Amino acid sequence: MRGVEKEFAEDLIGARINEEGRRGLRVVGLLHDVAKPVTRGEVEGRVLFVAHDTLGARMAHRVCRRLGLSARVTDLTATLTVLHLKIGFMGNPRSDYAPERLARAAGPFGEELAVLSWADRLAARGPRLKPEHVERHRELCVEFLRASRDLGPYPEPDYEGLASRLSHPSAADVGQAASRVRLLTARGLAEDAAMHQVVGLSRHGEA
């Protein structure tokens, strides 16, 4: 969260965030690593948090629902939680997220994703992290912002329309569903098929 505030003040990556996005990012900064305690493990002396991003998105959704947060804030939180590691792997040829695909997955939250990724890298700085690694991550965030803007503008999520297709949803449930539809379509699933899958899971209590 301090890293997010630091980027707001210093503007090192040039993200364009309105006041609503800034408020939402403070929630995301708090919740994006919520699954780390339950995913912590060690392999050959190295501490790992396998799948803390995907599990964290589900846990963050439950927190947002318990707090009565809006569909948009929950959508932002779930989307950025599941994607918050991806910018750092954009330069890896084995990554399944090229900049354009990641931009589609983030949709209208690309600017916020870049800020979170940069703040997360600043928060992880330690004695083994070299200055050139930090600078490389800043460059990746800038590259991602460029790709996101080239593909934009993005349509605003139709939360009301999605709510009408879900079974007695809370605002947070609608936001989580919108996030999942966007992520599925970014992976190549047609929007109608993605919507059908997410609505079906929601009706079975699996969203």
Q: Per-domain residue ranges for the chain?
A: 2-154
What SS3 state is found at 158? coil
Predicted TM-score of the model (pTM) = 0.92
What SS3 state is found at 81? helix
Q: How confident is the model at residue 130 (pLDDT cuts 50, 70, 90)?
A: confident
CB 158 within 8 A of CB 181: no
Mean of pLDDT over the chain: 91
**Which tens digits make up the pLDDT trace of 97-122?**
789 999 999 999 999 999 999 999 98
Q: In terms of pLDDT, which residue wins out, 112 or 126?
A: 112
For residues 6-19, b (16+ Cβ closer than 10 Å) or e, as one string?
ebeeeeebebebee
Pair of tokens at residue 33:
């690593």
What SS3 state is found at 105? helix
CA distance 17 to 159: 21
pLDDT of res. 133: 84
Helix (H) or strand (E) holding 163: helix 159-163
